Amino acid sequence: MRLRLSHILINCVLPVLLLSHGKALAQSAQAVPIASKSGSAKPAPVVTKLQALIEEALEQNPEIRVMRRGFDMMRARIPQAKALPEPMLNVGYMGNVVPIPPFDIQKGDPSSGRVFGFTQEIPFPGKLAIKGRMANVDAEAEWWNYEQTRLNVIAEVKDAYFDLFYIHKSIETVTKNKDLLGKFAKIAEASYTVVKGIQQDALKAQVEISRLTDQLITLEQRKDLAEARLNSLLFREPETPVEEPEEIRPREFTHSLSELIEAALTNYPALKAQRRRIDREQYNVQLAKKDFYPDFSVGLTYVNRPGMPEMYGAMVGVKIPLYFWQKQRPALAEATASAAAERERLESGCTLLFLKIKDRYLAATAAGRLARLYGTTIIPQSTLSLESAIAGYEAGKVNFLTLLDNLVTLRNYELSYYEQLSNIEKAIAALEPLVGVTLRL
């Protein structure tokens, strides 16, 4: 009877095990990076599920739309900054204290009249041009803030997508594990009932099944949360169904740390925005120096005197910066300090940027090494160990708990393998908004 049960175990369970591990073994074989052959024909571009989600996010995400409106707002300020101050139109009267009717001429005095004037302020030459340049670099800075927001949203979509991939794979793996444990539990119960086997085997299998049921409940909760997070980035309803992510294939990450840092210095939108802010403060220093020079005003006057000939007048005014030690000089010191602060902020931002890049780079490379280790070594070895345990159980040399332990160990390694695959892509996705270029298509 013992031999018969062993044959049932081998005939029923082993084919299922081999089938369930076939896919993992195939992925493990692909975990070794393969260099692309030169001269090979390029396949036609295919829009993946992830690319479709990214395009939808770029169109619908409210944060991106807000930043775009912010750029439009700053761009509309450019012509305003370069425009002259509004002119002043004056209407006056010379005659009675209270003219009745309004602007009526004083009787008996031919010099009484109505006065019309026009005055235009003219800033010192160069001031309006500097203000226009300041508004222009402000708009450029806002544009790069908008680009940074786009890259950040893309990275968040990728992060949520790859997190959802890992959760789906975890649910799939745990479900397979639970089904196999159910088969083991039936065999253990049959062994205990027929040949008075060890009851602990059946109980241990049931406990493990209950533990996996608990794990599945947690994973389902995480899946719902990940889908809601992805829907929020796409500006969808939280309960909108999300299609299962596509399979992730291990790929080599060929960029070096120095290449990433060089790309970041050239392309990182936040650095470009900060450089534009530095330019703005430099223009502000120039404007503060211009404020030491006077502004002007010109005016024309027309006097209507019915009893005498009409009169015309012209006026030129100069605004004297008389209190420069209280206004212009402190303003120049303020602008100089602000420019220096922006330069210091750029240096601080570069230091923090390099730290972030190295952190993500190390995370990507470490996850890549772990994925290769799991795919090429640990999972195949664990599969062989499980097959050996099944053979030993058939021969009566291995007890049921050892067999169960081998199965659980293999499944845990499979979960770790999928987790590292997800971590690679998430780390690379986090690098992309920092270097300002797409590292993974």
Strand-pair category, 88-94 with 295-304 = unpaired
Q: Read out DSSP for 295-340?
A: EEEEEEEEEE-TTS--EEEEEEEEE--TTTTTTHHHHHHHHHHHHH
User: What's the pLDDT at 102?
Assistant: 64
Per-residue pLDDT reduced to its tens digit, 340-375: 999 999 999 999 999 999 999 999 999 999 999 999
Domain end residue (candidates: 324, 342, 376): 324
139 shares its domain with 276: yes
Domain co-membership, 102 together with 240: no
End residue of a domain, out of 307, 324, 341: 324
Q: Are residues 172 and 129 in the same domain?
A: yes
- Give pLDDT, residue 217: 93
Q: Domain check: are 354 and 425 in the same one?
A: yes
Q: Please indicate, yes or no, if residue 45 is contained in any of the structural domains.
A: no
**CATH number, domain with residue 202:** 1.20.1600.10
Residue 67 lies in a domain: yes
Whether residues 70 and 175 fall in one domain? yes
Res 399: pLDDT = 76
Q: Name the pLDDT band for 199 (thresholds 50, 70, 90).
A: low
Q: Which residues have a Cβ under 8 Å from the Cβ of 390 and sit 6 or more positions away?
A: 9, 10, 13, 14, 17, 403
Distance (Å, rounded) from C-alpha 375 to C-alpha 341? Answer: 50
Determine the pLDDT at residue 103. 63
Domain containing 114: what range? 87-122+294-324
No. of H helices and E strands in the chain?
Answer: 10, 4
- pLDDT of 174 > 60? The answer is yes
Q: Please indicate, yes or no, whether residues 271 and 178 belong to a single structural domain of this protein.
A: yes
Instruction: Please indicate, yes or no, if residue 344 is contained in any of the structural domains.
Output: yes
In this predicted structure, what is the pLDDT of residue 192?
55
Identify the three-state secondary structure at position 294. Answer: coil
Q: What are phi and psi of 303, to 5 degrees?
A: -115, 120
- The answer to whether position 301 is within a domain reads yes
User: Mind listing the pLDDT tens digit for each residue in 216-246?
Assistant: 999 999 999 999 999 999 999 888 888 899 9
Asked if residue 78 belongs to a domain, the reply is yes
**pLDDT level of residue 18 (50, 70, 90 thresholds):** very low
pLDDT of residue 395: 73
E-strand spans in 190-304? 295-304
Q: Worst-scoring range by mean pLDDT, 70-74, 89-93, 104-108, 426-430? A: 104-108
DSSP classification of residue 115:
E
Residue 48 lies in a domain: no
Listing DSSP states for 137-148 in one string gives HHHHHHHHHHHH
Give me the pLDDT at residue 100, please. Answer: 64
Asked whether residue 107 falls in the same domain as residue 191, the answer is no
**Does 167 fall in a domain?**
yes
Q: Is the pLDDT of residue 93 over 90?
A: no
Same domain, 197 and 308: no
Residue after which a domain boundary falls, among 274, 302, 324: 324
- My answer on whether 140 and 107 are in the same domain is no
Mean pLDDT lowest among 12-21, 239-248, 372-381, 395-404: 12-21
- pTM of structure: 0.83
The confidence band for 92, taking pLDDT boundaries of 50, 70 and 90, is: confident
> pLDDT-based confidence at 33, cuts 50/70/90?
very low
Looking at the fold, whether 21 and 131 belong to one and the same domain comes out as yes
Instruction: State the Cα–Cα distance between residues 428 and 347, nearest whole angstrom.
Output: 24
DSSP 31-70: TS--PPPTTPPPPPP---HHHHHHHHHHHH-HHHHHHHHH
What 8-state DSSP symbol labels residue 84? P
Encode pLDDT of 283-335 as tens digits: 999 999 999 999 999 999 998 887 778 889 999 999 999 888 999 999 999 99
Total domains in the chain come to 2
Residue with tokens 């605004």: 319
Please tell me whether residues 73 and 15 are part of one structural domain: yes
Mean pLDDT of 79-98: 87
Do both 378 and 302 map to the same domain?
no
Poorest-pLDDT segment among 88-92, 190-194, 321-325:
190-194
pLDDT on residue 41:
45
Phi-psi region of 126 (alpha: psi -120 to 50; beta: other; left: phi over 0): left
Nearest-angstrom CA–CA distance, 202 and 103: 110
115 located within any domain: yes
pLDDT in tens, 144-160: 999 999 999 999 999 99
- Proportion of the chain above pLDDT 90, given as a percent: 59
